[in-house]
Amino acid sequence: MKRVVITGQGTINSLGTSVAQTQEAMREGRCGIGPLEMRDVDRLSIQIGGQVKGYDPEAVFNRQQIVLYDRFTQFTLLSAREAIAQSGLTFVGDLAARSGVVLGNSGGGMNTLDDNYRTVYEDGKNRVHPFVVPKLMNNAAASHVSMEFNLKGPTFTVATACASSNHAMGQAFMFIRSGMAEVMVTGGSESMLCFGGVKAWEGLRVMSKDACRPFSANRNGMVQGEGAAVFVFEEYEHAKARRADIIAEVIGFAMTSDAADIVMPSKQNAARTMTLAMQDARINPEEVGYINAHGTGTAANDKTECAAVADAFGHHANDLMISSTKSMHGHLIGGTGAVELLACTMALRDGIIAPTIGYEEADPECALDVVPNVAREVEVDVVLSNAFAFGGLNAVLALRRI
């Protein structure tokens, strides 16, 4: 089996327009969640989110591109540009043929859908722009990345709600590990912060009106975010031969289904997935120093996740750190695992553990070291990243310092 390493990373999200800015915000425990800016916001009962602000698409894309790139595609391309530039790779010949793209995304071009439904339903028009379909399809981002960088290997999009990015990165890992691909550009993106997107989430009554406070006893729900993060996964010998700067090694992955409930999480299966990821990585629970939690800030997720960690790790659950960076960037749904992997690479590379901010009150049902409010300097060798999606679909990645 081949070894898989990360040689590039890029992002845009409410914390910053680069990895450096985002990791700095995570180190400082800064919050990217604020008042939403969008049409008809006064008709929303939830008016906060982790929105990418001060972003002008026309400054980075030309008119011909903007008519084809929904906001989630724009975020993906900007992240991919940063990641691939850092990797130093150019894709030609055999390498291009053996390199692909697998991205996580849940809603596709929600802004495009919202705008065009308005055109036909609210404005009563009988005609929409000819590129609505290629703009909103949720493989658009993966395809545009493959086109811009000449990636001709396996290329597709994974849609498993909040686990999309972790599933995508798990696929990328398995493609390289098995020898099917040399390099995979992977991660995910989401841009659901439009009127219809927020309105749909309001319906479930799980959203907070004021803040995302994972693991805190006074938590009152999740907060949506938007953005993307993209990574370059590369076969280890290939990266070593070209003396690439290796950020971290991906050592294991597991995915399971609860087969039980469409929205409620399962402690038993969350624990099972973490255990399977550790088995896949051939590590003992005691080696794991940090877990980037799914930590949505809902009543149901956080207590279930903490109980699952206690089950999977036994006594070691009290010695490891677990934090949820959703408290800072919000829940990016299909893109969330990708942005959260930046907290993992920061932990492994810089020895800095991103905090869970907004933590105000201890909850006996979440009695783990959740790194409350302030980042911590601790060297860790192995980390896990959790994602437990609606639909009962779980995906856990394991990474190691290199």
Partner 1 sequence: MPDSIKDKVIAIIAEQAVLEPSDVATTSTLEDLGIDSLGLVESIFAIEEAFDIQVPFNANAPQESDFDISSVASIVTAVEGLVREQTAS
Q: Which of the residues 144, 167, 238, 331 is marked catalytic?
A: 331
221 belongs to the binding site for partner 1 (CB under 8 A): yes
Among 1, 92, 259, 262, the residue binding partner 1 under the rule CB under 8 A is 262
HSE, CB side, 13 Å, CA atoms: give it for residue 42. 0
Distance from chain centroid for Cα 150: 24
189: amino acid identity, one letter: S
Q: How far is the CB of 209 from partner 1 (least distance, A)?
A: 8
Alpha-carbon distance 269 to 259, whole Å?
9
Per-residue contact string for residues 193-212; x = within reach of partner 1 by CB under 8 A: ----------xxxx-x----
Q: Which is nearer to partner 1, 1 or 262 (CB)?
A: 262
* Residues of span 132-191 touching partner 1 by CB under 8 A: none
Neighbours of 54 (CB within 10 A): 6
Q: Which is nearer to partner 1, 119 or 220 (CB)?
A: 220
Is 294 assigned a catalytic role?
Answer: yes
Q: Are 104 and 188 in contact (CB under 8 A)?
A: yes
Q: How far is the CB of 266 from partner 1 (least distance, A)?
A: 14
- Part of the chain binding partner 1 (CB under 8 A), chosen from 21-29, 57-65, 261-269, 393-401: 261-269
Give the CA diameter of the chain.
Answer: 63
Q: What's the token pair of residue 102? A: 């697998």
Q: Are 398 and 381 in contact (CB under 8 A)?
A: no
* Residues of span 34-73 touching partner 1 by CB under 8 A: 45
Alpha-carbon distance 166 to 173, whole Å?
10
Per-residue contact string for residues 274-313; x = within reach of partner 1 by CB under 8 A: ------------------------xxx-------------
Alpha-carbon distance 321 to 347, whole Å?
11
Neighbours of 126 (CB within 10 A): 6
Q: Are 331 and 223 in contact (CB under 8 A)?
A: yes
Is 162 assigned a catalytic role?
Answer: yes
Alpha-carbon distance 192 to 331, whole Å?
10
219 belongs to the binding site for partner 1 (CB under 8 A): yes
Q: Which is nearer to partner 1, 180 or 206 (CB)?
A: 206
Q: Which is nearer to partner 1, 220 or 257 (CB)?
A: 220
Is 129 assigned a catalytic role?
Answer: no
Catalytic residue numbers, as ranges: 162, 294, 331
Contact positions vs partner 1 (CB under 8 A): 45, 203-206, 208, 219-221, 262-264, 298-300
